[in-house]
Structure formats: structure tokens, C-alpha cells
Amino acid sequence: MTTVDPVVPHTSRSAVLRVQQVIAETADACSLVFDVPEELAERFSYLPGQFLTLRIPSDRTGSVARCYSLASSPHTGEAPKVTVKRTVDGYASNWVCDNVHAGDRIEVLPPSGLFTPKDLNADLLLFAAGSGVTPIMSILKSALIRGTGQVVVIYANRDPESVIFATELAELTAAHPDRLTILPWLESERGGFPDAAALAELAGPYTEYQSFMCGPGPFMDVVHAALAQLSVPRERIHAEVFNSLSGDPFAEHEIVEVTAEEAADAATVEVELDGEVHTMSWPRSRTLVDIMLDKGLDVPYSCQEGECGSCACTVLSGKVEMDHCEILDEQDIANGYILGCQAHPVTDEVKIQF
């Protein structure tokens, strides 16, 4: 078993959480339920559909960072729970499923992510495949307990044995028969992977709902195609995208002095963070996350590579450009969202809100 020091946090942003329980969900998926002490409760409060970043030990690199969605709801009183499914040659997922036991301690970054409904009262159409059901489950439970709308879940799996949360979904359906509809797609019974036409037929009665999707890339592509066939407006479509993080979000930030040349060509940025407004000089060669960290601000971030969405924020005025961005889609950007770790100022004055 690969081990690292699991007790001492590697950065002021992270915390070490005790695993309260390990739940075997299926033959190749398990859930980790975390104890969050009272002094960390505010830092680890979260929205339905968000994720945690876990530090996983590695013989080769010391550790790797992986983002796992919360399957629990912040509105039910349950302890935070992430669900991990083994992937072929997936080092981190296999390590978690093979090695983590109740009582173990894991270094974790606070919750992040944009895959969350703005209004839990809205009618929701939720698409999931495999372990993509994890954030969908968080949204589903939250909407049922705090919202008033209808909830429809289209959930694809290989066979009955691979259905994560099968028992919990059945219990929720029985408890909310007037609001919750589950539309399963089992490849073993349907003759294979769903195509766009089949999903469009299932989703047809619900085109006015807010659509959320999470799952493997091919499934997401098919869902996008199905919703396009149904002419669902882009502003009602929300997709969760995860990439394996290649950097180390648990490393402590190193301050790099601003040169005179950088200072001479700097913009001015007003950043609203946790209800407070901070005014700073923003050199055009630096990212927003970099300058905020240099100022000692507790900016949310994980990968600093544009791969996780933890540092997403909104441009209130002014203009920025991003080095690259695989997490935000065209509609997100049109709505003013940017990734702070990839953003550089274009105009001389910018206002940002986290």
C-alpha cells in the first residue's frame, strides 16, 4: 500500500478529513463519507453538484490530485460523501477503492464547481451515465427536499449490477411519486449504448426543463445531440466536465515579485470575494489567481491549469482574455464566466465577482 504522511496539510487551503464510512456501492464503485469537524463546517459547506479535490498518494510523484463529485446533499443533514468508480488504468480511483477504510484520513481541498442549479424550484431534467450520477444525485436530493419542481432522471448503465445508488433511487421514487420520475437505460436490456434519437424520445416531454448532464464523453456527446434535435436553448443546458489534474493544487503558492516593467503596464481590478471588495494592480502577464494569492487572499482554485473550474468567477465590467479554457462552454463565457487561473486583463479597469 502506497502511503504518505496523511495528517499534516500541505497547504493552508487544504484540510485533513477523517473517513467516517466506506460504502461499497457496486462491484467497482465505492463512496467515502467524511467527518467534518465543527471548526471546518463553514469552509466545507457546499452547493448541490459541487466536488471535492482529494490528495491521493503515489509512489511515482508523491501524490496526485483528483476531483470527485459530492453525492450527498447539503440540505439533508447527511455527512459529505464522494463516490469513486474504478476506471481502466485509473491509478487514483483504483487506489481509493483498494486502500481507503473507515478511520483513514485524507487531505482535501474545500468544495468547488459550477455544476449546480441556480433555482432548486425549477423543473429539472437530469442525465447521468455510470458514475456521472454522483453530482446528479446531489442535485436530485436537494431539489426534492428544498424545491417544488418536477425532477426527471435519465440514467444509463451497462446492466442492473452496475447501477450506483439503485436502492436510494428506488426509495426516493417511492417517497416522491408525484415529483420524481426515473427513466433507466440499461444496455443489457436495450441492446447497447443509447443514441441521440433514443434519448431525444425520452427527453421529448421535458424540453422546458433545465437540463443537467454528467457522464463519460461519448454519453455527453449523445445528450448534447439529443437536446439539439429537440431545439433546447443552450442557456437551459448545463454539463459537468472533469479532466485529470496534472499539476499539484496542494502545493503552497510561491510569491514572484512584480517587475518594474510589469507594474508599468498593469490594469486595475476590483475583486469581490466573500462579500469584501479588494482593489489591486493586475500586471497583464499574471493571472488573476496569481495576483490574488500574492496578496494573501483566499481565492478558490485547484489545478491552475483551466481543467477543474474551481476558480470560475464573473466579469462585472471590463474585459479579460484566457490562455485556454476547456471547462467553460460558449454560453458560460457569454454569461460572463471566466477562469481566474487563465485570465489576463485586456482593459485597464476590470471588476470581478467570485
Q: Are residues 76 and 128 in the same domain?
A: no
Question: What count of other Cβ atoms lies within 10 Å of the Cβ of residue 144?
Answer: 21
Residue 253 included in any domain: no
Q: Which residue has the higher pLDDT, 57 or 100?
A: 100
Residue 50 included in any domain: yes
Residue 244 included in any domain: no
> Which of 112, 141, 162 marks a domain boundary?
112
Q: Are residues 134 and 227 in the same domain?
A: yes
- Write down the pLDDT at residue 2: 44
Query: How does DSSP classify residue 3?
Result: -
Q: What is the pTM of this model?
A: 0.83
Question: What count of other Cβ atoms lies within 10 Å of the Cβ of residue 209?
Answer: 19
- pLDDT tens for 235-245 read 899 999 766 56
Give the residue from 96, 107, 106 showing the smallest Cα distance to 131.
96
Q: Are residues 132 and 217 in the same domain?
A: yes
Helix (H) or strand (E) holding 308: none
Residue 41 included in any domain: yes
Q: Are residues 140 and 235 in the same domain?
A: yes
Order of strands, sheet of 62-69, starting from the edge strand that comes earlier in the sequence = 62-69, 51-58, 105-112, 15-26, 29-35, 81-85
CATH code (residue 82): 2.40.30.10
- Write down the pLDDT at residue 5: 44
14, 44 in Cβ contact below 8 A?
A: no
Residue 4 has pLDDT above 60, yes or no: no
What's the residue count for the chain?
Answer: 354
CATH code (residue 346): 3.10.20.30
Residue 272 included in any domain: yes
Q: Residue 248 burial by CB count (10 A; 0-12/13-18/19+): exposed, middle or buried?
A: middle
Residue 252 has pLDDT above 80, yes or no: no
Average pLDDT rounded to a whole number, residues 245-253: 71
Residue 49 has pLDDT above 80, yes or no: yes
Q: Are residues 138 and 100 in the same domain?
A: no
> Which of 179, 204, 239 marks a domain boundary?
239
Band of pLDDT at residue 325, cut at 50, 70 and 90: confident
Q: What's the total number of domains in the chain?
A: 3
What grid cell was written down for 305?
491549469
Q: Are residues 106 and 128 in the same domain?
A: no
Residue 10 included in any domain: no
Site of grid cell 485524507: 106
SS3 228: helix
Most confident listed range (12-16, 85-89, 169-173): 169-173
Q: Are residues 106 and 131 in the same domain?
A: no
Q: Are residues 277 and 341 in the same domain?
A: yes
Rounded alpha-carbon distances, angstroms, from residue 155 to 6, 64, 123, 130, 190: 36, 30, 17, 8, 13
Residue 246 included in any domain: no
- pLDDT tens for 276-318 read 999 999 999 999 999 999 998 988 887 777 777 888 899 999 9
Residue 200 has pLDDT above 60, yes or no: yes
Residue 144 has pLDDT above 80, yes or no: yes
CATH code (residue 192): 3.40.50.80
Q: Are residues 208 and 278 in the same domain?
A: no
Q: What are phi and psi of 62, to 5 degrees?
A: 90, -45
Q: What is the mean pLDDT of the chain?
A: 91
- Write down the pLDDT at residue 221: 95
Band of pLDDT at residue 219, cut at 50, 70 and 90: very high
Strand partners, 127: 154, 213
353, 314 in Cβ contact below 8 A?
A: yes
Q: Are residues 100 and 129 in the same domain?
A: no
- Write down the pLDDT at residue 10: 66
Residue 252 included in any domain: no
Report the distance separating Cα 9 and Cα 70, nearest Å. Answer: 21
Domain with 25, as residue range(s), is: 15-112
Q: Are residues 192 and 271 in the same domain?
A: no
Q: Are residues 91 and 156 in the same domain?
A: no
> Which of 112, 137, 158 marks a domain boundary?
112
